[in-house]
Amino acid sequence: MTKRVLVTAAYLAPGDGVDRLLGDAGYEAVFATPARREASGLRLRDVVADVDGIVAGTDAFTAEVLGAAPKLKVIGRCGAGYDNIDVDAATRNGVAVTFTPGANRRSVAEHVLALMLNCARGIPQNIASIHAGGWEQRSGRELEGATLGVIGLGSIGKTVARLGLALGMRVIAFDREPVHENGVAVLSFDEVLRQSDFLSLHIFLSPATRHLIDATALRMMKPASYLINTARGEVVDEDALADALAKGELAGAALDVLREEPLPATSKLRELDNVIVTAHIAAATVEARSRSSLMATQQVIDVLDGRTPKNLVNHEVI
């Protein structure tokens, strides 16, 4: 009997590269993206019962969902993070979890650059003013000569650092592990906060990093500095950030990830004109999505074919 692989990433569809890769490997692709499930009135747990593998997007694979999938052997997460998957529950159920680090690094890094430029020049505010009938010409600032602080010098953080260096920025960084990158000064966490004109976050969400940027951390930053988050929403205390921005303790912030997505109508951030919010699109390029989804799919195939995949999270199951 042909093994079935469920595809839940929202941007994948029948006939695409993932579908062809699975078919060429002898597997049947079953598409159950969020839009398809909503249209049919199905929950995620309703579509996992009879599948052997999953190519996953950002859906929450909780212990309850995993418990409804007795045949499941592997989840291949399309993305650099996997905090939407209960890895402990997956491990208990003998389900391998993989992810795709590095596949989206260029796309995320370019989005960081775009957010920095928008902050530095107040581009969204200027566009909004023109749409409202105004014609303001406020002074912005150049990136050349400014200090870019990078928290987390992994593959994405290093790519951001290189883009900053190419623009003539001074680049400093903090990482919990010993790291080296040409042209980048590795400093303590506190010093990176104190010295940065633009602070960009590139860390996984974990108990140790949840609210890493809290009220205390924000008070260490320069009043004229900007916070940029394309990592995970919960690494920033959003309430503390909103308060700091409202009080003028920071010049602004640019957020691609949030505590709750979509941004709630009642969020304090909506009241502030010095915040740029994008809809978790840093990795949403054709190129990054293709690399990430094909990598995740190949890892699913590897597990189902009895091979050890490249980016395995829970080695205990293999």
Model pLDDT for residues 264-306, shown as the tens digit of each residue: 999 999 999 999 999 999 999 999 999 999 999 999 999 999 9
Q: H-helix or E-strand containing 289?
A: helix 286-304
When pLDDT is cut at 50, 70 and 90, the band that residue 63 belongs to is very high
CA-nearest of 94, 75, 138 to 296 is: 75
**Burial (0-12, 13-18, 19+ Cβ within 10 Å), 133:** exposed
Contact 1, 23 (CB under 8 A): no
Residue percentage of the chain with pLDDT more than 90: 99
What is the CATH class of 4-103+285-317?
A: alpha beta
Please tell me the predicted confidence (pLDDT) of residue 178.
Answer: 93
When pLDDT is cut at 50, 70 and 90, the band that residue 182 belongs to is very high
Domain covering 105-277 assigned CATH 3.40.50.720 in the classification:
yes
Give catalytic status of residue 64 as yes or no: no
Is the pLDDT at 71 greater than 90? The verdict is yes
Please tell me the predicted confidence (pLDDT) of residue 1.
Answer: 79
Predicted TM-score (pTM) of this structure? 0.93
* DSSP summary character for residue 233: G
CA–CA dist 276, 89 (Å, integer): 36
Q: H-helix or E-strand containing 127?
A: helix 123-131
CA-nearest of 143, 132, 312 to 226 is: 143
Is the pLDDT at 261 greater than 90? The verdict is yes
Q: Write down the catalytic residue from 105, 232, 259, 291.
A: 232
* DSSP summary character for residue 264: P
- What stretch(es) of the chain map to CATH 3.40.50.720? 4-103+285-317, 105-277
**What is the average pLDDT score of the chain?**
97
Q: Write down the catalytic residue from 121, 162, 211, 280.
A: 280
Query: What is the arithmetic mean of pLDDT over 158-173?
Result: 98
Query: What is the arithmetic mean of pLDDT over 114-124?
Result: 98
Give catalytic status of residue 280 as yes or no: yes
What's the order of all strands across the beta sheet hosting 147-151? 184-186, 170-174, 147-151, 198-201, 226-229, 252-255, 275-277
Q: H-helix or E-strand containing 151?
A: strand 147-151
Q: Write down the catalytic residue from 38, 64, 144, 261.
A: 261
Query: What is the arithmetic mean of pLDDT over 68-77?
Result: 98
Token pair 């995949």 is found at 309
Contact 253, 201 (CB under 8 A): no
Query: What is the arithmetic mean of pLDDT over 66-92?
Result: 97
